[in-house]
Structure 1
Amino acid sequence: MAPAGPSSCYPSRSQDLMNLDLSERQRATVGVALTILAACVILAAVGFVFWLLAKFVAEFSSVIMPLAVAAIAALVFKPYFDLLQRRLRLPPALAVAAVFASILVPLGAFAWFFGAKMVSQGNDVAARLPELIDAANRNLRAQLPEVIAFFERHGLDKALDSAIEGGRKQLVDGLQTFGSGALSAGAGVLSFVGSALSWVVLPVYFGFFLMADGWQLDRLKKHLPFLKPDTRDDVVYLIQQFVDIIVAFFRGQIIIAFLQGLLFAVGFSIVGLQYGFLIGLALGFLNIIPYLGNIVGLSVALPLALLQPEGGWVRVGLALIVFAIVQTIEGYFLTPKIMGERTGLHPMAIIVAIFFWGTALSGILGMILAIPLTAFLVVFWRLAKEKYVQELV
């Protein structure tokens, strides 16, 4: 009989580890440590993937942005497109044309009624910008004499005048040279043309997404045979939730922003805010990103109400009343009736999400998608916590 080898005489290291006599508390501690280590590895991997995604989006934003806008618009208008095909029995091409007409006709009517006033006020601002800045400087001294006196006592009045004059000169020069400066270099021309072309083909993307047959999520299960049935159902559920959040948010937010813009425009015009109609519509457009229009509006409308000709603290108070009325209408009527509690996010969470995603995705695309992405992560976490994340101890 052959002598036993060394491996049969001595237990292996793995066998030693398996035969360790650990107490219940030690086993729990080891389990928690391994779970935390695994969680850290998973978080690091997710963070790395997210970093790569953010870099990719930032690098190719000029291509991704039109695609994202077209896809979101197609999601919003897809039920209307299907209704035209089902009720009127229109072929896909005619249904797409009808959707385009349904979008362009209201926009054309809006431009017909309000475009002339917007263009007139915009041209007036551009033509009178140096004069308006000088008038604001004079009104600042008239409205805030104590502040100006403080500056003069401490020798800061010359610095203030220099700063105002420097800002005025830079603003005017920047506006005058923007068009030529933006296209001065060959690389700038190529970048501008490429960006413009990517937006020119947006209607093509929109029509293609409308006619695509891949929106039926039930078919997605056929393409995920490598997943367990329960996991497959969860993936489809999460995608459906994300689509529902996207559609509900943008469909509601666009309507709310449009109505807010009209309310701001009418209110500012009534209280006599200079260029109030143009400012109000611009604030409504910015409110597609929640709270952005309000933040910009307060920083623009209130100083303008104070420093414009015939301005003053009374005009500032009237502008604040307009803000309060519009926000009350939006908070207690427009949002509950149009959007409801679809996102389920606290206002502070919305603000943090806008700044986070705007930074993470390098710009306006992240800010626009901030609310749907955050709401989706909340839904994902609730599902993961309920079905996949077990108690650690």
Structure 2
Amino acid sequence: MTEPTEKRPEGMRPIAGLHLGTRQRAALAAAITIVSGIVILGALFAIGWVLTQFLHRFSNVFLPLAVAGVIAMLLAPYYHWLRRRLKFPAALAVATVFLSISLPIAGFGWFFGAVMVEQISDMVIRFPAWRESMAEDLQARWPQMKHFLDENPWGQRAREVLEAQQETVINGLRELSTRALTAGMGVFGFLGTLAAWAVMPVYLAYFLIAGARVPRDLEKLFPFLKPTTRKDLVYLINEFVAILVAFFRGQFVIAFLQGLLYAIGFSVVGLRYGFILGMMLGLLNIIPYLGNIVGLAICLPLAYFQADGGVLLLGLIAIIFVIVQLIEGYVLTPRIMGSQTGLHPVAIIVALFFWGTALQGILGMILAIPLTAFLVVFWRLARRRYIKELI
């Protein structure tokens, strides 16, 4: 005699001896998805932490590679044009690219080199005396500042605080200027070290030659993945390269034009070392907002405390900063870069601090915007293709 089978309610299935309804199975699937997501995120954070520590420890090795890689991406269209349209062999195309880079730099150096060398040498020689003069001038102007604060009711509390901290402020100013000089020497030393990387042109030549084969061979590098996953990975790589190229190509042009505008404006109004300061601020603006922050901290005190300076020159320098920022925000960036990254200005500032801290150095700040834009693209793809399927 056969035993009667147990009758299950409709919509329930046995799972490991348990009978779960549709709602229970959906809840279990959601719980498994959440746990899996947490585990995956934890693994990604762990891998990211190990990678950042590794990059920081060997930054002197990877920085020339990163610089050469970015430059190769920017110059790749020109290299491909030489190869395809003019039928240049690889060696001649690379030599032409190098020559095309060297000639404009040499021309710029020949045209502005004398002014830049003169201002840099004069700045280094005069900086200690200027530092002491600024501290003495601040002490000499202190009675006028006290009188101004005494005549304004809102300045009573400020006067008390400033009187209590007068000596601290002056000593801090001297210490800050000493550290600024040391940091400035460190920047020039870094630029000199960067220029001395004789191996970087070798990396650049290799990336230009080998990069032509990468788009064709990219899918072949991941034969162990499913076709759909492989296509998604190739899509992410191509998107990252496109974002990187678009950002740096536009940012280099914008930074150079900003530097010229600052240099011309500072020189016209009579700011000492105006040309070299303007070009340096433009160079720093490759990292968004860095040149503006450093420029305000350096140029405003210099405009006020230089021999023929004062409130008028300080106001003119502030006006120049405002004008250049308006030109950059409403003319240069929309026309040159557009909305390639699609990031809000607040997100850009947060990204700079985050990646600068994560990669512990200037490399993180340089790559902050492309990396953040890539993560946005990655999240959109993951949400559209994978997370919806899991949930």
Q: Which TM class, normalised by the smaller chain length?
A: 0.7 to 0.9
For residues 1-393 of structure 1, what are the structure 2 equivalents within 5 Å?
A: 18-142=16-140, 145=143, 147=145, 150=159, 154=163, 156-164=165-173, 199-213=197-211, 215-390=213-388
Q: Per the alignment, do residues 203 and 381 of structure 1 end up closer, same or farther by CA in structure 2, a change over 3 Å counting?
A: same
Cα deviations by residue, 1:152-205 (Å, 9 ceiling, x for unpaired) = 994654444544555566777x59998xxx9xxxxxxxxx9xx77982200111
Which residue identity lines up with residue 104 of structure 1 in the other structure?
S
Query: How many Å separate the matches in 2 of 1:333 and 1:176?
Result: 31
Is the contact made by 1:264 and 1:280 (CA closer than 8 Å) also made in structure 2? Answer: yes
Q: Which moved more, 1:32-41 or 1:201-210?
A: 32-41
Q: Per the alignment, do residues 209 and 30 of structure 1 end up closer, same or farther by CA in structure 2, a change over 3 Å counting?
A: same
What SS is found at the alignment partner of 2:218?
A: helix
Cα deviations by residue, 1:299-335 (Å, 9 ceiling, x for unpaired) = 1111211222222222121111111111111111111
Instruction: Give, in angstroms, the shift of residue 33 of structure 1.
Output: 2.3
Identity of aligned residues (%): 52
Q: Per the alignment, do residues 146 and 36 of structure 1 end up closer, same or farther by CA in structure 2, a change over 3 Å counting?
A: farther
Is the contact made by 2:261 and 2:278 (CA closer than 8 Å) also made in structure 1? Answer: yes
Is the contact made by 1:63 and 1:198 (CA closer than 8 Å) also made in structure 2? Answer: no
Is the contact made by 1:264 and 1:322 (CA closer than 8 Å) also made in structure 2? Answer: yes
Query: How many Å separate the matches in 2 of 1:252 and 1:222?
Result: 32
Q: Per the alignment, do residues 171 and 102 of structure 1 end up closer, same or farther by CA in structure 2, a change over 3 Å counting?
A: closer
Normalised TM-score (structure 1): 0.84
Instruction: Give, in angstroms, the shift of residue 142 of structure 1.
Output: 5.0
Query: How many Å separate the matches in 2 of 1:364 and 1:318?
Result: 31
Instruction: Give, in angstroms, the shift of residue 222 of structure 1.
Output: 2.3
What SS is found at the alignment partner of 1:212?
A: helix
Which residue identity lines up with residue 241 of structure 2 in the other structure?
V
Instruction: Give, in angstroms, the shift of residue 140 of structure 1.
Output: 2.5
Is the contact made by 2:341 and 2:370 (CA closer than 8 Å) also made in structure 1? Answer: yes
Aligned to 1:5: none
Query: How many Å separate the matches in 2 of 1:132 and 1:123?
Result: 14
Which residue identity lines up with residue 383 of structure 2 in the other structure?
K
Query: How many Å separate the matches in 2 of 1:319 and 1:177?
Result: 25
Query: How many Å separate the matches in 1 of 2:231 and 2:164?
Result: 71
Which residue identity lines up with residue 339 of structure 2 in the other structure?
E
Which residue identity lines up with residue 312 of structure 1 in the other structure?
G
Query: How many Å separate the matches in 2 of 1:152 and 1:345?
Result: 41
What SS is found at the alignment partner of 1:388?
A: helix
Is the contact made by 2:262 and 2:324 (CA closer than 8 Å) also made in structure 1? Answer: yes
Please provide the CA RMSD for this pair.
2.8
What SS is found at the alignment partner of 2:61?
A: helix
Q: Per the alignment, do residues 140 and 232 of structure 1 end up closer, same or farther by CA in structure 2, a change over 3 Å counting?
A: same
Is the contact made by 1:238 and 1:379 (CA closer than 8 Å) also made in structure 2? Answer: yes
Query: How many Å separate the matches in 2 of 1:64 and 1:80?
Result: 25
Q: Which moved more, 1:306-315 or 1:320-329?
A: 306-315
Gaps of 5+ in 2: 1-12, 148-158
Query: How many Å separate the matches in 1 of 2:139 and 2:372?
Result: 46
Aligned to 1:3: none
Cα deviations by residue, 1:107-146 (Å, 9 ceiling, x for unpaired) = 1111111111111111111111122112212333455545
What SS is found at the alignment partner of 1:225?
A: coil
Is the contact made by 1:66 and 1:198 (CA closer than 8 Å) also made in structure 2? Answer: no
Instruction: Give, in angstroms, the shift of residue 391 of structure 1.
Output: 7.0
Instruction: Give, in angstroms, the shift of residue 275 of structure 1.
Output: 1.1
Q: Per the alignment, do residues 163 and 382 of structure 1 end up closer, same or farther by CA in structure 2, a change over 3 Å counting?
A: closer
Query: How many Å separate the matches in 2 of 1:116 and 1:197?
Result: 19
Query: How many Å separate the matches in 1 of 2:274 and 2:96?
Result: 35
Instruction: Give, in angstroms, the shift of residue 218 of structure 1.
Output: 3.2
Is the contact made by 2:134 and 2:305 (CA closer than 8 Å) also made in structure 1? Answer: yes
Query: How many Å separate the matches in 2 of 1:198 and 1:162?
Result: 37
Is the contact made by 2:135 and 2:174 (CA closer than 8 Å) also made in structure 1? Answer: no
Which residue identity lines up with residue 61 of structure 1 in the other structure?
S
Is the contact made by 1:143 and 1:312 (CA closer than 8 Å) also made in structure 2? Answer: no
What SS is found at the alignment partner of 1:262?
A: helix
Q: Per the alignment, do residues 148 and 102 of structure 1 end up closer, same or farther by CA in structure 2, a change over 3 Å counting?
A: farther
Is the contact made by 1:354 and 1:366 (CA closer than 8 Å) also made in structure 2? Answer: yes
Which residue identity lines up with residue 32 of structure 2 in the other structure?
L
Aligned to 1:186: none
Q: Per the alignment, do residues 158 and 353 of structure 1 end up closer, same or farther by CA in structure 2, a change over 3 Å counting?
A: closer
Q: Per the alignment, do residues 145 and 226 of structure 1 end up closer, same or farther by CA in structure 2, a change over 3 Å counting?
A: same
Gaps of 5+ in 1: 1-14, 183-191
Query: How many Å separate the matches in 1 of 2:195 and 2:161?
Result: 54
